[in-house]
């Protein structure tokens, strides 16, 4: 029987390969984790301490996939994946520490312009919190209450929102992205949502009770880059647009434009304040961007492999 071929890109110790009674080879667990070994390069084991920026980026991408962009760890449900999330946060922080203030901290909106997709966040209770609207809600709670109580009440709000919108398969969050336009000083936050995607009765039937529908929710915010990579935003309006292959409520819905910024000031608890928020851009290069919110939670974005034009109906 012909012996199996071992890929030349992986290094093994002499006792890593043995032959069975039929003459074929088997791989054992004693894999060489030297820096030249691609497996060690990717996993970042103790033997590979000189992890470079590109290695950290690869590890963050892998952890983003493992954690489903962060929503696999849900403290509302339990502590499973908490260790993985802690490791992911550590990797992101390692990447932030390697940021060159001259190269990796943006000075203007041109340094972060274009389209970005969310690949990982450490924030609990919802990927939707990357939106300026929910960042403004977070700021509003902090303004209305003392800092500690405001934070706890904001987290309760986000927890309840997540339970209300994501339970029982009623809705599912898809692609989350941002488009930054330095010419107009606007940041457009997008997230795809599908409704009734899991409406079946287990063990009784295998057909969908109701059709799946939804679209892309877009929040438009005025933005300005300040010193040290601080990105200040003020929510202007919210609208929506269709997603290819996903049924909507009708053409009329895509033309609706809700003036969030105007309504926000009229709400009594906001006391006339605008819907403002801010994040700090801690790292940016040609394809990676890391931002930190006021509570120290992190959001990692990358350039999309499959870009998608904004195509707003009301612009």
pLDDT at residue 50 is higher than 60: no
Lowest mean pLDDT among 37-46, 166-175, 212-221: 37-46
Please tell me the distance from the alpha carbon of residue 173 to that of residue 191, in angstroms, as a whole number: 7
* Tokens matching residue 110: 């041109």
- Residue 151 confidence (pLDDT): 53
- Residue 80 confidence (pLDDT): 87
Please tell me the distance from the alpha carbon of residue 74 to that of residue 123, in angstroms, as a whole number: 9
pLDDT at residue 90 is higher than 80: yes
Q: 73 φ, ψ to 5°?
A: -90, 110
* Tokens matching residue 195: 């409704």
Please tell me the distance from the alpha carbon of residue 272 to that of residue 194, in angstroms, as a whole number: 34
- More confident: 269 or 170: 269
pLDDT at residue 164 is higher than 80: no
pLDDT at residue 262 is higher than 60: yes
Are 253 and 278 contacting, i.e. CB atoms less than 8 angstroms apart? no
Listed by start position, the domains of the chain span 1-50, 105-302
Burial class, 229, CB count within 10 angstroms (exposed 0-12 / middle 13-18 / buried 19+): buried
Are 24 and 3 contacting, i.e. CB atoms less than 8 angstroms apart? yes
Orientation angle between helical segments 82-97 and 53-66, nearest 10 degrees? 150
Q: Give me the mean pLDDT over the 42-49 stretch.
A: 50
pLDDT one-digit tens code per residue, 135-162: 888 787 765 554 444 455 555 555 544 5
| 71 three-class SS | coil
DSSP tally for the chain: helices H, then strands E: 7, 10
Tell me the H-state helices in 189-259: 251-254
pLDDT at residue 299 is higher than 60: yes
Please tell me the distance from the alpha carbon of residue 313 to that of residue 285, in angstroms, as a whole number: 31
Please tell me the distance from the alpha carbon of residue 229 to that of residue 282, in angstroms, as a whole number: 7
Lowest mean pLDDT among 68-72, 115-119, 121-125, 279-283: 121-125
Our measurement of the distance from residue 235's CA atom to the centroid of its chain's CA atoms, rounded to an integer in Å, reads 20
Q: Give me the mean pLDDT over the 73-79 stretch.
A: 77
266-298 as b/e: b if 16+ CB within 10 A: eeeebeeeebbbbbbbbbbbeebbbbbbbeebb
Lowest mean pLDDT among 117-131, 225-239, 288-302: 117-131
Please give the C-alpha separations between residue 195 and each of 27, 62, 229, 241, 251, in angstroms, as whole numbers. 47, 28, 36, 15, 17
Are 290 and 167 contacting, i.e. CB atoms less than 8 angstroms apart? no
Please tell me the distance from the alpha carbon of residue 185 to that of residue 223, in angstroms, as a whole number: 5
Q: What is the CA radius of gyration of the chain?
A: 23
């Amino acid at each position: 029987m012909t012996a199996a071929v071992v890929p030349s890109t992986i290094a093994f110790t002499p006792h890593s390969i043995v032959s069975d009674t039929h003459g074929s080879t088997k791989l054992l667990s004693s894999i060489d984790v030297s820096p030249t070994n691609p497996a060690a390069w990717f996993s970042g084991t103790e033997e590979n301490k000189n992890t470079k920026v590109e290695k950290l980026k690869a590890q963050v991408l892998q952890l983003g996939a493992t954690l489903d962009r962060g929503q696999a760890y849900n403290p509302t449900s339990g502590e499973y994946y908490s260790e993985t999330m802690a490791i992911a946060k550590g990797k992101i922080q390692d990447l932030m520490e390697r940021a060159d203030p001259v190269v990796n901290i943006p000075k203007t909106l041109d340094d972060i312009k274009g389209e970005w997709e969310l690949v990982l966040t450490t924030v609990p209770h919802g990927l939707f919190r990357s939106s300026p609207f929910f960042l403004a809600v977070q700021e509003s709670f902090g303004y209305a209450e003392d800092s500690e109580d405001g934070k706890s009440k904001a987290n309760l709000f986000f927890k309840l929102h997540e339970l209300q919108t994501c339970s029982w398969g009623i809705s599912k969050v898809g692609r989350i992205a941002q488009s930054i336009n330095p010419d107009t000083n606007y940041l457009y936050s997008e997230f795809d949502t599908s409704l009734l995607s899991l409406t079946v009765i287990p063990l009784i039937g295998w057909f969908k009770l109701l059709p799946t529908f939804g679209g892309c929710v877009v929040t438009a915010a005025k933005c300005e880059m300040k010193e040290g990579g601080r990105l200040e935003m003020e929510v202007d309006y919210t609208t929506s647009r269709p997603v290819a292959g996903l049924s909507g409520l009708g053409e009329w819905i895509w033309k609706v434009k809700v003036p969030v910024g105007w309504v926000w000031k009229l709400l009594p608890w906001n006391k006339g304040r605008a819907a403002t928020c801010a994040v700090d851009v801690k790292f940016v290069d040609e394809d990676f961007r890391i931002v930190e919110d006021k509570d120290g939670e992190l959001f990692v974005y990358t350039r999309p492999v499959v870009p998608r034009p904004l195509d707003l109906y009301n612009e």
